[in-house]
Amino acid sequence: MAINALQSASSALSALNTALDVTANNLANINTVGFKGDRTNFQDLLYLEKGQPGAENANGDQRPTGLYVGLGVKVSGTQKSFVEGAPQVTGNELDILIQGKGFFQVSVEPELGNTAYTRAGNFTLNSDREIVLANDQGRRLLPVTTIPENATRVTISTDGKIFATLPGETEPQEIGAIETANFVNVAGLTSIGENLFIESKASGNPLVGVPGTDSRGGIKQGMLESSNVDPTRELIELIRTQRAFEFNSQSIKAADEALRSVSQLRN
C-alpha cells in the first residue's frame, strides 16, 4: 500500500537527517586536535509478512521464497572511529602525542567521575604552573605535574617521564610522569564534549599504566595528533546523503499521487 511507502520514506528522511548532522559535525572538526570522527549506522525496521517461505499452496507445493514488505529504516547508533590522526610537528615543549593506543587522563567534575580521557595533547601551564589542556576549561593533566618556576627546559621521554632542566644544572631532574589509559572497548566510551570521553559499562574500566607498555603507545614530544576526519570521504558521504534525500522525497511524492488517485477512484 502507498501508506507503507510513505512510512518507509518518512523514516528514511528522519534517519538521513541524523546522518547529515553527524557528517556536518565531522567536517566542522577537521582542525580539532585529536578529534575522532563518527559514523552513522542504520538498521531496517519491522516487516509485514504477506507470504511465509515454505508454506504450502493449494496444489500442495511449498513456497520457495517469502513475501515481506519492509517499513523503513532507523539510525541504530553512531560509532566513533579511533583510527589515529596524522602526526603534526609543532616543536612546542608541552605538545605531546600518543603514538599508538591510549588516552591522556585529565581532571573533570566529580559527577563525571573525576577523570576524563582524551587524545588531544595540546597542553600548556596554568597560573600554578600545572600542566593543563590548552582550552577554555584548563583541565589538569593527571597525575598532576607542576613545572618549577625557574625551569629552562622541559623534556618528556617516550615512557612519559617528565624532566625539568634548572639553571646551573646540566642533568635534568625528573619531576613527574604521564600515565595513559586504554580500554577493552574504546567504541563504548561516552563523549562529553571538549574532545573528552568518560568510561561507561560498555567501555570497561580504564587500564592505566606506563606509556609504551601493555599495548599502550609511546609518547612523542613536540607533536600533536590531527583530527582523523578525511574531508574527501565526508564530502562524498554528504553527497550520498543529499541524493538519498532526493530519492526518498520522490518516493513520498509518488506515494502521495497514488493515494490521491485511489481517493479519486472512490469518489
Spatial neighbors of 200 by CB under 8 A, at least 6 apart, are: 188, 189, 190
Mean local confidence (pLDDT), 246-252: 91
| 3-state SS assignment for residue 220 | strand
Grid cell at residue 84: 589515529
pTM: 0.85
| Strand ordering across the sheet containing 153-156 | 153-156, 161-165, 173-177
Q: What is the pLDDT of residue 56?
A: 74
Class of residue 266 by CB neighbours under 10 A (exposed 0-12, middle 13-18, buried 19+): exposed
d(CA 78, CA 187): 10
Domain boundaries of the chain, sorted by first residue? 2-82+229-266, 87-225
Q: What is the pLDDT of residue 255?
A: 80
Spatial neighbors of 246 by CB under 8 A, at least 6 apart, are: none
Each residue's pLDDT tens digit, 114-140? 999 999 999 999 999 999 999 999 999
d(CA 234, CA 37): 10
Each residue's pLDDT tens digit, 37-75? 999 999 999 888 777 787 777 777 777 877 878 889 999
Whether 266 shows a pLDDT value over 70: the answer reads: no
The mean-pLDDT minimum among 61-65, 126-130, 142-146, 218-222 falls in 61-65
